[in-house]
Amino acid sequence: MSTSTTVPESLSAAPTVTGSSWTRRIIQNFYVRRIAKAVFTIWVVSTIIFFLIRLLPGNPVEQYIARLIETQGMDYENARMQAAALFAIDLDAPMWKQYIDYLGNLMRGNLGVSITSPGTTVTSIIARFLPWTLFSVGTGLILSFTLGILLGLMMAYRREGLLDHTLTIFASVVSSVPNYLIGILLVVWLGVQWKVLPIAQMRGTMSPGVTPAFTFAFLYDALFHAFLPITTYVLTTVGTWMLSMKGSTVGTLGEDFVTVARARGLKDWRITTAYVGRNAALPLFTQLTIAIGFVVGGSFLIETIFQYQGIGYVLSAAIAQRDYPVMQGVFLVITVSVILANLMADFLYGWLDPRIKVG
Amino acid sequence: MAKNKLDWHTGEQNNGRAPLSLENVHVSYATRRGKVRAIRGVTLDLHAGESLALIGESGSGKSTLGLAIVRLLPETAETSPGVITYRRDGREVDVLRLKPNEMREFRWSECAMVFQAALNAFNPVLKVWAQALDTAKAHGWHDKDAIRRRLVELLEFVQLDPKRVIDSYPHELSGGMRQRVLLALSLLLNPQILILDEPTTALDIITQRTIIKLLRELKEEQHFTMIFISHDLAIAAELADRVATMYAGRVVELGASDDIFYRPRHPYTLGLIRAVPTVTGGFEQLFSIPGSPPDLVELPSGCKFHPRCAFATDRCKQEEPELEEVGPGHTAACWHWREVEAELQRNPLHRGALNVLDVIEIDEEVVS
């Protein structure tokens, strides 16, 4: 960045030099480079998915053809045609042609058609179910991240105190219990034994008769149905945030700039937020991106337990029924969501930590 | 500039008295092994406009003393007994009795401290301007234009380009630049006292020169009252009006800079001076004090320096000497200071400290 700005005026006046410094500035731009990296990763992942489906022994296409012949008594030609239509590929074309077509379809958003519900495109299934997962997982993560950072900060400031010990035990326990167990326990305790929550009504993503709209009633209904998944996400992840933040804060409290800030007579609140908290939270943003991918991928157990129709619910149904095009689409969505989350975190990080953009 | 609301006492005949007085100050840390006695009864007056150097090995308590004055010691430290009195405009406060918020106001606006390792002195995610603004606002100064004007003026004084520095993040500045920014920032609120804790450590010799020149200007032209903590005797000799040698948490010798460096009366000070290497001298001239600094949990009996001292006698093992007058305005805590004097006459100083000073004079010409 600095190289282009320090070009002497006499030089930058020459058209050729301006051109090259202009392109160089784009290439060296932090955001441009990160986006290019993300696009490249998505391409690599989709290529791997393509070859996995076709090259593995007993690949889904062959299996589907065999199943059609067995169950429906179709002849091989017909079965093959139907399979090709479902997966949106031309089975007679050479491999490289199939690959190019696949990439072309992908760019147009064509991921094939579902096997179990013929006529429904995978893209439309994803478009219908993904927002619910993003909503519940996103809310859960933001809540648990915020809560974890605040509690971790408190624990570090009062370390070795009663609050610290209590919260450390709590954090270790909740983060060591698997999320599906916490989900089941929530159903058993809150719904069945204590009858605090109307579990049956909370199933699904919306109550019947409610339509998505920007109204308070809809938002309330959406949160009502997402309450248990969100609670589970928060409970299973908040412990890790708390402990990471505590460790990070203890380290930051020992930094010279904190002592200097106190010597400068800054108010405690300002030191805690802008000097300690902000610097201690920085490394946690990297962990946040990993968590987003993990939770989207791992959401299928939770969504099955609570009968919450998100992308995880779709995935578990697709796995049970060997709906390969849907599985392929969902896997792609999961990887893309991880990559996008990473990209977002990088941009956020570049804004939060000025040292990053330089490197 | 906003004046702070400290709980001032109108002292009786305070005018003209030292801005800072330490009386019998003790600092100890509670550890598993026992009580670490870092400062054991330091009594000192810091006169207006003077620069006082604290010298001594690591662990002698000099940094602890600096931190004790602004009360930035870790929570495990106990500062008692002892009284630290701060005076301004004929009024005084007892620093150790200030309430937390008063202490916060006292820091930086009355007494600023420039730390060693200025590399990490700044919050890495805030620009220099934001950190200066934080400092000013914390002391009730909200006029942004005036703050900026003052900061620009100070950055120019420390020979930095304000336009470049003000909107920079700390990592965009070199170590020497950061140290100078911190120095500029320490003057922002016009404090009466400046404490400098190893301000030139970890800087290359050229940058050290720039900083020392600035400090000298502060001393000679603006008559700042400074406490200068250093283990670099050459720099201390150059900047200090008076020097206090510290050993095992006590001041063992105190006197005018010339007295300390040319006529030391405490064997420890003498050892320190003889241990200064010269650039031109060979190894044969190098002297080191045998042994290592004492364990502050289990201090030796009597004079704490006796296990390492060539002059030590039985008396030194039993009785700890107090500071006694060895010359005009020159005190030393040693039973055998006369023997040190005699030894110096037999064996004059090998111009150890002097040599370093000479080298620095030459170096200065090269730089400027």
For A297-346, how does the pLDDT look when each residue is reduced to its tens digit (9 = 90+)? 768 888 988 889 898 899 888 888 778 788 888 888 888 888 888 888 77
One-letter amino acid at A239 equals G
Whether chain A has a CB inside 8 Å of the CB on B245: the answer is no
CA–CA gap between residue A137 and residue A300 (Å, rounded): 11
CA–CA gap between residue B150 and residue B127 (Å, rounded): 17
Ordered domains of chain A (ranges, CATH): 129-322 (1.10.3720.10)
Residue B57 pLDDT class (50, 70, 90 cuts): confident
Residue B6 pLDDT class (50, 70, 90 cuts): low
Asked if residue B76 has pLDDT above 90, the reply is no
One-letter amino acid at A139 equals T
Which residue intervals of chain A are DSSP H helices? 2-5, 9-13, 15-28, 30-55, 60-72, 76-87, 95-107, 122-157, 162-176, 179-186, 199-202, 216-253, 256-263, 268-270, 278-305, 311-320, 324-352, 354-358
Q: Which residues from B are below 8 Å from A353, CB to CB? A: 124-125
Angle at A356 between CA A350 and CA A358, to 5 degrees: 115
For A238-256, how does the pLDDT look when each residue is reduced to its tens digit (9 = 90+)? 999 999 999 999 999 988 8
CA–CA gap between residue B256 and residue B237 (Å, rounded): 10
pTM score over 0.90: no
Contact between B263 and B231 under an 8 Å Cβ cutoff? The reply is no
What average pLDDT score do residues B299-317 get?
Answer: 88
Contact between A110 and A88 under an 8 Å Cβ cutoff? The reply is yes
The pLDDT value recorded for residue B9 is 63
One-letter amino acid at A23 equals T
Chain A nearest-CA distance from B209, in A, is 24
Closest C-alpha among B209, B342, B351 to residue B276:
B351
Return the higher-pLDDT residue of A272 and A286.
A272
Residue A144 pLDDT class (50, 70, 90 cuts): very high
The pLDDT value recorded for residue B150 is 92
By Cβ distance, the residue of A260, A270, A355 closest to B124 is: A355
Contact between A251 and B120 under an 8 Å Cβ cutoff? The reply is no
Q: Which residues from A are below 8 Å from B112, CB to CB? A: 263-264
CA–CA gap between residue B367 and residue B365 (Å, rounded): 5
CA–CA gap between residue A140 and residue A237 (Å, rounded): 9
Chain B nearest-CA distance from A28, in A, is 18
Whether chain B has a CB inside 8 Å of the CB on A52: the answer is no
Whether chain B has a CB inside 8 Å of the CB on A357: the answer is no
The pLDDT value recorded for residue A300 is 80
Q: Which residue has the tokens 């200068």?
A: B228
Residue B118 pLDDT class (50, 70, 90 cuts): low
Determine which of B103, B116, B125 to mutate to test the interface with A (most A C-beta atoms within 10 Å): B125
Q: Provide φ and ψ at B33, rounded to 5°.
A: -75, -20
Yes or no, beta carbons of A278 and B171 under 8 Å apart:
no
What average pLDDT score do residues B112-137 get?
Answer: 87
Determine which of B63, B123, B229 to mutate to test the interface with A (most A C-beta atoms within 10 Å): B123
Percent of chain A with pLDDT strictly greater than 90: 23
For B213-245, how does the pLDDT look when each residue is reduced to its tens digit (9 = 90+)? 888 888 888 888 999 998 888 888 888 899 999
Closest C-alpha among B68, B73, B83 to residue B22:
B83
* Beta bridge pairs of residue B22: B44, B84
For B322-342, how does the pLDDT look when each residue is reduced to its tens digit (9 = 90+)? 998 988 989 999 998 888 888
The pLDDT value recorded for residue A354 is 82
One-letter amino acid at B1 equals M
